[in-house]
Amino acid sequence: MNKFVDVLIVGSGVSGLYCALNLRSDLNVLVVCKDKISCTNTYLAQGGISVARGIEDIPLYIEDTLKAGKYKNDVEAVKVLTSESMDNIKQLIDMGLKFDRNDDGSLNFTKEGAHSINRIVHTKDNTGESTANILIDNVKHRENIAVYEYTYFIDIIERENECIGAILIKDDEQINVYAKSVVLATGGIGGLFNNSTNQRILKGDGIATAVKHNIELKDINYIQIHPTAFYDKEIDDKRLLISESLRGEGGKLTNISGERFVNELLPRDVVSEAVYKQIKETQTPYVNLDIRFLGREYIINRFSSIYEECLKRGTDITRECIKVSPAQHFFMGGIKVDLNSLTSMKKLYAVGESSCTGIHGANRLASNSLLEGLVFSRRAANLINSEIDNIENKVSVVKNIDKPLEKLSRENEELVRNTIKSMGGKLDDELLSHR
């Protein structure tokens, strides 16, 4: 079956849906996702979204991002991120997202690791879920946007280094979608790890596609470990993230002897290393995070989702310390893109965690991920809007897929693993096996 659209977007996280919503309403847009529309890392994000506290904060915000990233960042991309942050937060508010506010109606800003000041907007501790729900609701009200759930992305369709569509499998039927522009918003690589806070379906599909078609990659050895995931030796699914915002509100990390061992608001890689050191020295597979001093009422209101999820796992965080250990959390590398999210292949864009804009460097600054998805997916949409009238749909001969999806998936996973390892990245779970 052949299908023709103006724009195909593969992925339904913040970057995919926000890109769709910033495309012109006269364009025929198709969004496809491997699972249900909400099965994304966006939906799991807790802490919030970073935003410059006015023009005067931009230089400090830039420096915080560069410092956290070990100065391996693309400075121009960081400038774009910070300078356009306020406009994108305003657009989310205009779409209906209700961030937490103070009694006087002003936005409530919190602080997380490596930020010099409070500059993170949030909706309690479920900012990602709130953002996803608003975007999903807006997409459903846009007549020009169609969504295919439970649809497997097989590969792009290429002709002379130009992306002209993609091969999909839906309901056991192959669909060859021809598009004037294709946007990969396929997410990260957490599904390749046994120990990760990510959705299990995210296994680097975009990376596999890039390798197959010699599309340029960048920084794929930069894989971030989050220092505080809920410790549960019985867990077989994704780890429950314990947001950095708890430490931003004053939460303390202590070893099993009750001794504080690190400044909790240092960059994530530094805190993770300190936690690993304690785990090794004490021969105990976790450390403790204590927020009890905040008080029951405040904890239940401010961190309602984390409170409920921990309670399900047998821990009342208003009365007990939270046992935590590190877990794979974010992929700073990905498909190399320019400031408008365009890849090295014509008419092919990459946004969100599948892309590498260069803003994160070697270590992502807390709460810059959702903002990156917003800023650079809107930039992609703006470029598509301006150029698409001069593009015509093209077709090509496409072979029928004769391999089971399970085999295709395994082959892609192995391709991604080997590629990351060949560029110095670590995918072994030995370092991450603490439960």
193 token code pair? 């790890």
Task: Take residue 419 and report the two structure tokens written for it.
Answer: 């590629």
Cβ proximity of 158 and 164 under 8 Å = yes
**By CB neighbour count within 10 A (0-12 exposed, 13-18 middle, 19+ buried), where does 150 fall?**
middle
By annotation, the residues acting in catalysis are: 268
Amino acid at residue number 63: E
CA atoms within 13 A on the CB side of 394: 17
Residues 6+ apart with CB under 8 A from 378: 18, 19, 22, 84, 88, 91
Q: In sequence order, what are the residues at sequence separation of 6 or more whose Cβ sits closer than 8 angstroms to the Cβ of residue 243?
A: 46, 47, 125, 228, 303, 306
| Rounded Cα–Cα distance for residues 290 and 100 (Å) | 24
CA-wise closest residue to 192 among 419, 424, 434: 419
**What's the CA gap between 349 and 138, in Å, rounded?**
22
Dist CA 10 CA 31 (whole Å): 6
Nearest to 120 by CA among 61, 77, 74, 42: 61
CB atoms within 10 A of CB 18: 30
